Amino acid sequence: MNPEMLKGHLDAVVLSVVEGGAHYGYAIIKEISQRSQGALNLPEGTIYPTLHRLEKAGLIVSQWEQAPSGRKRRTYTLTDLGRRTLTERCDQWNSFANVITALLTKPRAATAL
Amino acid sequence: MNPEMLKGHLDAVVLSVVEGGAHYGYAIIKEISQRSQGALNLPEGTIYPTLHRLEKAGLIVSQWEQAPSGRKRRTYTLTDLGRRTLTERCDQWNSFANVITALLTKPRAATAL
DNA sequence: ATAGCATACCTAGCAACGCAGGGTATGAAA
DNA sequence: TTTCATACCCTGCGTTGCTAGGTATGCTAT
């Protein structure tokens, strides 16, 4: 799958997954891969900078946590702004998807009759 | 609408419109705007480089034509490769859209029960 | 013990893309 | 003769996802 296609949509995906309960980077990658049936396998070099960008934008906040195994994890939570932004982005996605789908659907005898 | 969202999908859109019968740059812009109900108003700085890129890739071919008004136009036509690529890109779009839609749809009590 | 693997984080630099902002030229309308 | 719509072009920029590296921990098998 052409990586260029993801551009502009990754934020929404990450926000959505964070809202859903997968809280730290490594788990978010696995979650996305799983929930997309392996269609979307994001490398770490994609997810970590994205999380930092979202945090800098005030959409999520991070907190170091101790996993049961004793490992350190940086867990993320949606802010209010993040929640609102997610809703907005979902609406934008729906509009966008409708537009593109319409454009890719051949007019087929429906044009300028 | 966030311009970043279009990335990776514009080729398919342009190919689709060219296949549909709008043959030259300026008209393609109008056609896209019209068929998207004004949601997608591409600036010329977007469409012309894209057409050149597609031509260089062998997906379309161009030809100078004389419009009825006497104006010169560079008209584009799909090549066989372009037609095949369009089909492929449409399939890719559908898969992509399904994946993103699924990810943006909240699991809602369906996760890990 | 120790080698290997999954986990878990990070960064610098690259390449691609859409767009802003500029330019040229023609024909029709005012 | 000025204005507008048509019609084309290009340079340079900002954003973004990815590549390719790196560090460190804990478990497991040798």
pLDDT (tens, 9 = 90+) of chain B, 113 residues, equals 888 999 999 999 999 999 998 789 999 999 999 999 999 999 999 999 999 999 999 999 999 998 888 889 999 999 999 999 999 999 999 999 999 999 999 764 444 43
Distance from CA of B90 to the nearest CA of A (A): 7
pLDDT at B106: 76
Q: Which two tokens stand for residue B17?
A: 């419109």
**CA neighbor of B48 nearest in space, from B10, B20, B19:** B10
Domain that holds residue A36: 3-91
Judge whether B111 lies within some domain.
no
Q: Is residue B29 part of a domain?
A: yes
The minimum CA-CA distance between A31 and chain B, rounded to whole Å, is 10
pLDDT-based confidence at residue A22 (cuts at 50, 70, 90): confident
Nearest nucleotide by C1' from A73 CA? C8
> What is the 3-state secondary structure of chain A?
CCHHHHCCCHHHHHHHHHHHCCCEHHHHHHHHHHHCCCCCCCCHHHHHHHHHHHHHCCCEEEEEEECCCCCEEEEEEECHHHHHHHHHHHHHHHHHHHHHHHHHCCCCCCCCC
Where is B74: in which H helix or E strand?
strand B72-78
pLDDT of A6-15, one tens digit each? 999 999 999 9
Is A14 inside any structural domain? yes
Average pLDDT (A34-59) is 97
Residue B27 is given by DSSP the state H
- For residue A113, the model assigns a pLDDT of 35
Q: Please report, as a single letter, which amino acid is at residue A12.
A: A
Asked if the Cβ–Cβ distance from A103 to B7 is below 8 Å, we say no
**Residue A97, in any domain of the structure:** no
Closest-approach nucleotide to residue B2, Cα vs C1': C18
Nearest CA in chain B to A9: B5
CATH of the domain at A86: 1.10.10.10
- Asked if B20 lies within 8 A of A101 by C-beta distance, the reply is no
CB A43 within 8 A of CB A32: no
